[in-house]
Amino acid sequence: MTNDDASDLLALGAAGALSDDEYDTLEQLLAADPLLAGEYRELQATALVLAEAASEAPPPSLRASVLEAINNVEQLPASLSTAQPATSELSIEASPADASALPASHPHAPSNVVPIRHRRWMIPATAAAAVVMLLVAGLLVNRFADAPSGDRMSAVLNDDDAATHRLTGSLEGLRVVTSTDESAAVLIGSDVALPDPGKVFQLWAVHDDLLVDVATFTPAATGEVAILINDDRDDAEWAVTMEPEGGSDQPTSDPIAISSGPE
Amino acid sequence: MVVRQSRFWHPMTIENATLAALLPRVATGDHVAFATLYDELSSMVFGIAKRVARDGTHAEEITQEVFVDLWRLAARFDAAKGNVRSWAATIAHRRAVDRVRSEQAHRNRERVDALAVVPAKSGPEELAVDGESRQRAMSALGRLSPPQREALELAYYGGLTHVEVADQLGIALGTAKTRIRDGLLRLRSVLREEASS
């Protein structure tokens, strides 16, 4: 890619004028070059002018509606910000134009998060490939291939040192149990509602600056879920979205369940 | 590529530091702080939503979604990596673009046909009403060439990719890219002049 190509990509990205595939390319560019990431922030800051120019007072009634709307909304803990997807350079607002504000040791340190449903909340393919799922008989898990391993699942669940991450939200009854001894985790649940027709649930993990597509799943008719995950990092946070059958490369909906740290 | 480390002008009604100081309070569930945040940002958020979605009802829904996001994500805002206004603007813009693209699937691109660049409001009466930050933003946009401004506004307010901008304007793809890029770079220069004056 030439410098001109890079300049185009940065400017078009800041103006919101790229396709999703082009944002992928931009994300890779920013991840590889902190100077370009700083440049991108500066251009994002410039684009704020377009936002300001559109300012218009909302109807006065909206204020009360918004203040009422947050009453039942759970606030997320700060911890996820340390596990922001690598694409976060594309997901954030513009920073003050000083690239040196970025820690040199972590030039792509997580930045301010955006809604989880946004299309640019993406999954690096390499990270997705790093997570291997094991199918459990009787469950409709749509991805991954490896031998079922009930013994290992039991070992995870019976590990005295295992950490439990309860997922809360509109989808109830799920938790992820992580075991460092077993180098694995288990998504387990009971009385879990079924997804809408033509949809599946999709589990996502966020850790080490990566958003990982873990698996799609549909609970058994009895509402039971049990999935073994070859990923034991207990610093991960977990979220479930409802996606079209076959799952999505990136979340297309708000999370319907999300963890808030180990219990 | 040169990374310039310049001071940047941000139109704002209160200092970013003040806004940023609200976020930790919001993150602890402080409804008063959240109401202040709403008062400071709602015009910008609603304005983006309405401009992009081109529908007042949708704009209200998007605005509510954005503020719910700000409430939910307040603890994860890092003042070292950005300012609150830009963060909110990014969320609002993306929420609005997502909404538009979703609606487009149902409206068979009706919206694009109607999109023909709608000039930003620029009457002196409106500027007086909408305050200094909007005036300054409008003034900065007014210093772009008409083709630059048209392309940039189609991309940002229309939620169009550069390919769609080229198609919409009936110009070559390279020309569309150049207009958007040069428009943004010109805007940056204008802001720098503002900052140094």
Q: Where are the domains of chain B?
A: 16-100, 122-196
Residues 6+ apart with CB under 8 A from B18: none
Q: Which residue of A has its CA nearest to B83?
A: A95
Range from A174-188, A204-218, B176-190 carrying the lowest mean pLDDT: A204-218
Task: Tell me which chain B residues have a C-beta less than 8 angstroms from the C-beta of A101.
Answer: 80-81
Shortest CB distance from B133 goes to which of A7, A45, A52?
A52
Q: How far apart are CA A153 and CA B57, in angstroms?
A: 49
Q: How far apart are CA B138 and CA B142, in angstroms?
A: 6
pLDDT of residue B192: 84
pLDDT of residue B119: 37
Average the pLDDT over A214-221 and give the result. 81
Range from B83-92, B99-108, B131-140 carrying the lowest mean pLDDT: B99-108
CATH of region B122-196: 1.10.10.10
pLDDT of residue A91: 37
Q: Are A175 and A165 in contact (CB under 8 A)?
A: yes
Task: Tell me which chain A residues have a C-beta less than 8 angstroms from the C-beta of B5.
Answer: 97-100
Tokens of A100: 């040196």
pLDDT of residue A114: 43
Range from A74-83, B24-33, B62-71, B187-196 carrying the lowest mean pLDDT: A74-83
Contact A49 B71 (CB under 8 A): no
Average pLDDT, chain A: 69
Half-sphere exposure of B62 (CA within 13 A, CB side): 33
Q: Name the band, by pLDDT with cuts 50, 70 and 90, for residue A149.
A: very low
Task: Tell me which chain B residues have a C-beta less than 8 angstroms from the C-beta of A53.
Answer: 120, 134, 137-138, 140-141
pLDDT of residue B16: 61
Average the pLDDT over A195-209 and give the result. 78
pLDDT of residue A212: 73
pLDDT of residue A234: 62
What pLDDT, in 10s, does the model give residues A37-78?
888 878 888 888 999 999 999 999 999 999 999 988 888 877
Q: How far apart are CA B182 and CA B176, in angstroms?
A: 10
The residue with greater pLDDT, A6 or A97, is A6
Please state which CATH class domain B16-100 belongs to: mainly alpha
pTM: 0.56
Chain B interface includes A55 (CB < 8 A): yes
Residue type, A204: W
Percentage of chain B exceeding pLDDT 90: 48
Nearest-neighbour CA in chain A from B138: distance (Å)? 5
Q: Name the band, by pLDDT with cuts 50, 70 and 90, for residue B136.
A: confident
Q: What are the phi and psi torsion angles at A114 (to 5°)?
A: -120, 170
Task: Tell me which chain B residues have a C-beta less than 8 angstroms from the C-beta of A16.
Answer: 93, 97, 155-156, 159
Range from A35-49, A54-68, B49-63, B101-115 carrying the lowest mean pLDDT: B101-115
Average the pLDDT over B162-189 and give the result. 95
Helix, strand, or coil (residue A146) = coil
Tokens of A227: 């999935």
Q: How are beta strands A257-259 and A132-134 bridged, if at all?
A: unpaired
Range from A158-167, B14-23, B92-101, B182-191 carrying the lowest mean pLDDT: B14-23
What pLDDT, in 10s, does the model give residues A78-99?
753 333 333 333 333 322 222 2
Range from A134-138, A187-191, A242-246, B142-146 carrying the lowest mean pLDDT: A134-138
Task: Tell me which chain A residues have a C-beta less than 8 angstroms from the C-beta of B35.
Answer: 63, 67
Nearest-neighbour CA in chain A from B39: distance (Å)? 8
Selection from A192-196, A205-209, A250-254, B174-178 with the highest mean pLDDT: B174-178
Selection from A21-30, A90-99, A249-258, B174-183 with the highest mean pLDDT: B174-183
Please choose, from the candidates B31, B25, B27, B77, the residue with its C-alpha nearest in 3D space to the C-alpha of residue A70: B31
Residue type, B101: R
